[in-house]
Amino acid sequence: MHNLFDLSGRTALVTGANTGLGQAIAIALAEAGADIVAAGRSDPADTAARVRAAGRRFHAVQADLSQQDQLPGVVEQALAAFGRLDILVNNAGIIRRADAIDVTEADWDAVLDTNLKSLFFLSQAAARHMLANGGGKIINVASLLSFQGGVRVPAYAASKSGVAGLTHALANEWAARGVNVNAIAPGYFSTNNTAALRADPEREPQILARIPAGRWGQPGDLAGAAVFLASAASDYVHGVLLPVDGGWLAR
């Protein structure tokens, strides 16, 4: 059974792995045996140290993932570093909070370009390699707002609903060709993106009261789901949105 979750000899490309959920996923995959390529704008020095401490190789690719023309190069650099690409984790994302009536076109475009457009075109670039080389695993980071509307985050909700739709669409096209496309839908986690909510004296207790587990998620709570979807244990799992939410959607 242990071998089902063994990622030894595989390479994972993780976006937004410098902190938070992306960092936790990268470390979990490394601890399961994968070498890690981290792509993003920020220096992932802490992630690099922790991946190497787990005995795995690490390579950083600096890129603005909101720029479509940079995405094929990210995959090319991953292949140049380690010679293969088995797993892609589309984690990078941003959020802009405002009343819907006040959302600007610039903020809308920034969120959709980073959270949805780049996810598709990076998946496309990775899949071109995977489809030609026996398959692979693509894991998208969706959200509770792939199921719900949220409050004061219309662009983010639209982007994460789009992530759900793309996960289904790409799974339909690529499942029979050996590429699994699935998504993790995190609930309310303690990360930079939720700092404003956790500091809000009205919203924070409202959120906490609805979580059956009684606490905010910690980035490490995603480790098991990420390793499962990246490993042979999920070979017959396609097009799934897996909530990791402390029971939020059950209430």
Instruction: Return the CATH number at 208.
Output: 3.40.50.720
Structural domain including 57 reads 2-241
Among residues 72, 84, 97, which one has the least CA distance to residue 37? Answer: 84
Among residues 244, 93, 69, which one has the least CA distance to residue 163? Answer: 93
Angle formed at CA 184 by CA 182 and CA 188, multiple of 5 degrees: 165
Domain total for the chain? 1
Supply the DSSP symbol for 217.
B
pLDDT > 90: percent of the chain: 95
Whole-number Å distance between alpha carbons of 120 and 95? 18
Whole-number Å distance between alpha carbons of 92 and 218? 17
Give me the pLDDT at residue 46, please.
98
Instruction: From the candidates 58, 82, 120, 156, give the one annotated as an active-site residue.
Output: 156
The answer to whether residue 250 is domain-embedded is no
Whole-number Å distance between alpha carbons of 16 and 238? 24
The answer to whether residue 248 is domain-embedded is no
Residues 6+ apart with CB under 8 A from 35: 10, 11, 12, 56, 57, 58, 59, 82
Q: Do the Cβ atoms of 87 and 29 come closer than 8 Å?
A: yes
The answer to whether residue 10 is domain-embedded is yes
Give me the pLDDT at residue 125, please.
97
Q: Tokens 């994460």 identify what position?
A: 160
Give me the pLDDT at residue 1, please.
58
The answer to whether residue 251 is domain-embedded is no
- Mean pLDDT in runs of 10 for the chain (251 residues)? 89 97 98 98 96 98 93 96 98 96 98 97 97 98 97 96 98 98 97 88 94 97 98 98 98 92
Q: 140-191 pLDDT, tens per residue?
A: 999 999 999 999 999 999 999 999 999 999 999 999 999 999 999 999 999 9
Give me the pLDDT at residue 181, please.
99
The answer to whether residue 24 is domain-embedded is yes
Give me the pLDDT at residue 196, please.
86
Among residues 93, 60, 117, 107, which one has the least CA distance to residue 184? Answer: 93
The answer to whether residue 247 is domain-embedded is no
Is 156 considered catalytic here? yes
Among residues 247, 222, 234, which one has the least CA distance to residue 16? Answer: 222
The answer to whether residue 25 is domain-embedded is yes
Give me the pLDDT at residue 21, please.
97
Q: Do the Cβ atoms of 238 and 181 come closer than 8 Å?
A: yes
Tell me the DSSP string of 103-130: --HHHHHHHHIIIIIHHHHHHHHHHHHH
Among residues 189, 194, 203, 205, which one has the least CA distance to residue 246? Answer: 189
The answer to whether residue 123 is domain-embedded is yes
Give me the pLDDT at residue 2, please.
62
Which residues in 141-164 are b (16+ Cβ under 10 Å) and which e? bbbbbbbeeeebbbbbbbbbbbbb
